[in-house]
Amino acid sequence: MEIWTAWTQWLLSSLAFISAHFGLSQAAAIIVLTLIARAVMSPVSLAAAYRMELNKEKMARLKPRLEVLRGVFRDDPAELSKRTMALYREHGIALVDRISLLNAGSQGIFGLGLFQALGHATFSSRFLWIANLAKPDFYLTVLVGALMLLGMVLMPGGTTEPSMLTMAAVAVVVSVIAVATLPSAVGVYWATSNAFSVVQTLALRALLWRRGRPRS
């Protein structure tokens, strides 16, 4: 696709511009570009995460009614699904909305685009303890996994729901295996993005705390 190729080339050009114009290393340019992109997308991603948490709270309150529906329509899956969705609509619960789609789309377009761009770039420099950005690095791989796990654990309910713990463990393992086979340049992007996610999760927790704080 010409549009996608142009997008990945623009990302490469942006990295080269940041590195040359500000006198930064290749790794520092990756960090700066990632932080800029995540900051631009943060209003949408934070709004999507906040709305998801509100939906979870509403669904928790509806649990008794959902259990009743499951008992009444246990032999009629189609009617059960219809009644469940009607109950969700009645209480303003949207499993998929424009905010969540925009968030997933923007994150995917940037993340996959930069991933492919870095795969076509040439790296010969070092960064911190990383001897060569073109090769995998064990400690960077551990850092990526630790930041990803921290972000998931900090999510509201992240340590109380067994299903979320299982999903977090699987996601971390898959990510660590992937990073361990990729150039460190990709790992630098991944670690930076995960670190930003940790900060955003803390902001989400602060928003939820302020909303639930008793009014004086």
pLDDT at 124: 74
pLDDT of residue 215: 40
Task: Report the alpha-carbon distance of residue 56 to residue 146 in Å, rounded.
Answer: 26
pLDDT in tens, 139-187: 889 898 888 888 888 877 665 666 666 777 787 788 888 888 888 888 8
Q: Which amino acid is at 69?
A: L
User: Are 33 and 10 contacting, i.e. CB atoms less than 8 angstroms apart?
Assistant: no
Pairwise CA distance, residues 188 & 192, whole Å: 6
**Regions in the chain scoring below 70 on pLDDT:** 1, 157-165, 212-216
> What distance in Å separates the CA atoms of residue 71 and residue 65, rounded to the nearest whole number?
10
Q: What is the predicted pLDDT for the residue at 214? A: 46
